[in-house]
Each structure stands twice: as C-alpha cells, then as structure tokens.
Amino acid sequence: MSVVLEALGVRVAYGPTTILDGVDVDVHAGQVLALVGPNGAGKSTLLSVLAGDTVPDEGDVRLDALDVRAIRLDELARRRAVLLQENRLSFPFPVRDVVAMGRAPWRGTGAEDDDDRVVGAALATADVAHLATRTYPTLSGGEKARTSFARALAQEPGVLLLDEPTAALDIRHQEALLVESRDRARAGAAVVVVLHDLTLAAAYADRVVVLADGRVRGDGPPVDVLTSALVSDVYQHPVDVFTRPGSDELVVLPVRTPAHRPVAAGKESR
C-alpha cells in the first residue's frame, strides 16, 4: 500500500507555544487512519497541515509525492477533501446544492458529466436524500453534519480528511459514516479521521496515531497502540481497554469510581 500523504518532521508554533513538534505521519491508500489524543494535542492543527491549509514552520507535507505547497488549489481540491468541524453556511442553499458544491473542483473536466449521479449517490449514502430540497439552516446539527459529509463524498477525492465528523451524530449515523469511510478506503482511498471516541476508532481504523503535546505517542494497529497504559497516560485519566465478550473488538472505557455511578431506584447510596 503506497503512501499518498505524509507529514515529515512537521513543527508548528504560534509564538512561544509549540503546537506540533517534529511530527511524522504517513497516510496509506486503502487504510483508515484514526488520529486521537487529548484536547490541545494538536490534532486539528495536524489535519490542517495535512490538508495544506497551514504551512508548518519546519518540515514538509507531500501529497502524491508532490510538495503540497506546490500543487495548485484546484488540483489539490481534486485530490483531497476536507470535512471541518464547523458546518456553517452564509446563505440558505438547499441541501442538494450544498452537496453539489463538492463537485466544484471537477468543473471543466470530463468528470463533470457524472455530477448528478455522484451527488445522488452521496445524498443517499449520507442518508440525507430525503432532505434534498430542505434549506440548510432548517436542518438539525446532525443533519448538517451529514450533509457536509455528503459534500465531501461528492468531491470523490483520493484522500479524505475528516475532523471529528461524528461529534453531532447519533449512534446509527456514526456507524454509517465510519462504515462508508472504511468502504472508501477499501476501494482505494486514504482516509484520516480525527476521533474522540476511542472505541469507535478501534473498531474502524486500520491504524491509530496517538498525539499528545504535539508529539506522536503511538502509531500502529489499534490493538498495539490502544493499551490501558498508554491511553491512561496520554489522557491523564485511568482508562480500561478490554475486549468485547464474544469477539475481538476493543472496548475503551474510562475507569469510574463507584461513588460517581448513578444510584439505582430503591437502593441506598453509599
């Protein structure tokens, strides 16, 4: 599996604060890479660097072996799609139009003829087809998130960069989004997902990169990286990693003291 996107020795500092310090990450085609870490670890910054938005103070970012800074904006848009946490829209476009915006980089190319089909497929995949004629501001937070995901899918990129895409979604849609991401990866794309939910990361990622204080603390398959010791250390909170009974899926749960558990009805609190 080839490396499609890589960050080499990336360092980003804002004044006296160093956000990323010597980070090496490579993203392979056909893989889902989960980027995890505590608040302030630099995950969004790293994603921004990988997307080509932020220019690192030191280090390189290469997309398809080319320096990302040297790639023209429209060419870049055809190779990678980015889904941000913020899903604002200044004007009340209907959902279909918002998703169709994802096709913008393909205007003037042969792929333009596929626009309708691709948009339709994206709408269906993200389960927003029934909202196609609704205007964006009338949607709920989760629906807006799914619409934005559909937009990213419509872009048909080789690389998908997703920043906490599941934050506003319910269980069903969380699963659906990650399933789709994994399917895209299997079809040859490279996917990077920033996640807070470690169990989710363990379930769907081929590789997990743990970021803390701007440094990579772990890089490898979930079962190797997501250990109780490492996770507890990185998140500064006791965490238990165990296997789901009856399968080999990893479950990551914080350790909670009995005093903090909710009291069942009729029982005395201790």
Partner 1 sequence: MPTTTAAPTPTTSPSAAVPTRSRRIPALFVGLSAALLVLAVLSAGMGQLSVPPAEVVGSLLHHLGLDVGPVPAHPNGDAALWTIRFPRVAMALLVGAALATGGALMQGVFGNPLADPGVVGVSSGAAVGACAVIVLGLTFLGPWTVAATAFVGGLLTTILVYATARENGRTEVVTLVLTGVAVNAVAGAALALLTFLGDTQEREQIVFWQLGSLNGTRWPYVAVVAPIVAVGIAGAVLVARRLDLLALGERSARHLGVDVERLRVVCIVLVALLTAGAVAFCGIIAFVGLVVPHLVRMAVGPGHRVLIPASALGGAVLLLAADLVARTAVPYADLPIGMLTALVGGPFFFWLIRRTRRSAGGWA
**For binding to partner 1 (CB under 8 A), which residues are involved?**
51, 53, 73-78, 80-82, 84, 86, 88-94, 96-98, 101-102, 104-105, 107, 116-117, 119-121, 123-125, 127, 129, 132-133, 137, 155, 172, 175-176, 179-180, 183
State the DSSP code for 56.
P
Closer residue to partner 1, CB minimum distance, 102 or 218: 102
State the DSSP code for 229.
H
User: What's the rounded Cα separation, in Å, for the pair 221 and 51?
Assistant: 23
Query: Smallest gap, in angstroms, from Cβ of residue 72 to partner 1?
Result: 8
Query: Smallest gap, in angstroms, from Cβ of residue 99 to partner 1?
Result: 11
In the sheet with 17-28, reading across from the earlier edge strand, the strands are 17-28, 3-14, 58-63, 66-67
Could you give the residue ranges of the DSSP H alpha helices within 101-187? 115-125, 141-154, 171-186
Q: Which residues contact 138 (CB under 8 A, 6 or more apart)?
A: 92
Q: Rounded to 5 degrees, what are φ and ψ at 198? A: -70, -30
Q: Which residues contact 90 (CB under 8 A, 6 or more apart)?
A: none
Query: Smallest gap, in angstroms, from Cβ of residue 40 to partner 1?
Result: 19
Query: Smallest gap, in angstroms, from Cβ of residue 224 to partner 1?
Result: 27
Q: Rounded to 5 degrees, what are φ and ψ at 237? A: -155, 135
Query: Smallest gap, in angstroms, from Cβ of residue 258 to partner 1?
Result: 35
Query: Smallest gap, in angstroms, from Cβ of residue 170 to partner 1?
Result: 11
Query: Smallest gap, in angstroms, from Cβ of residue 95 to partner 1?
Result: 10
Closer residue to partner 1, CB minimum distance, 40 or 92: 92
User: By the 8 A CB rule, do 164 and 83 touch?
Assistant: no
User: By the 8 A CB rule, do 178 and 203 touch?
Assistant: yes
Closer residue to partner 1, CB minimum distance, 62 or 96: 96
Closer residue to partner 1, CB minimum distance, 82 or 212: 82
User: What's the rounded Cα separation, in Å, for the pair 54 and 42?
Assistant: 12
Which amino acid makes up residue 66? L
Closer residue to partner 1, CB minimum distance, 172 or 260: 172
Closer residue to partner 1, CB minimum distance, 78 or 196: 78
Closer residue to partner 1, CB minimum distance, 92 or 254: 92
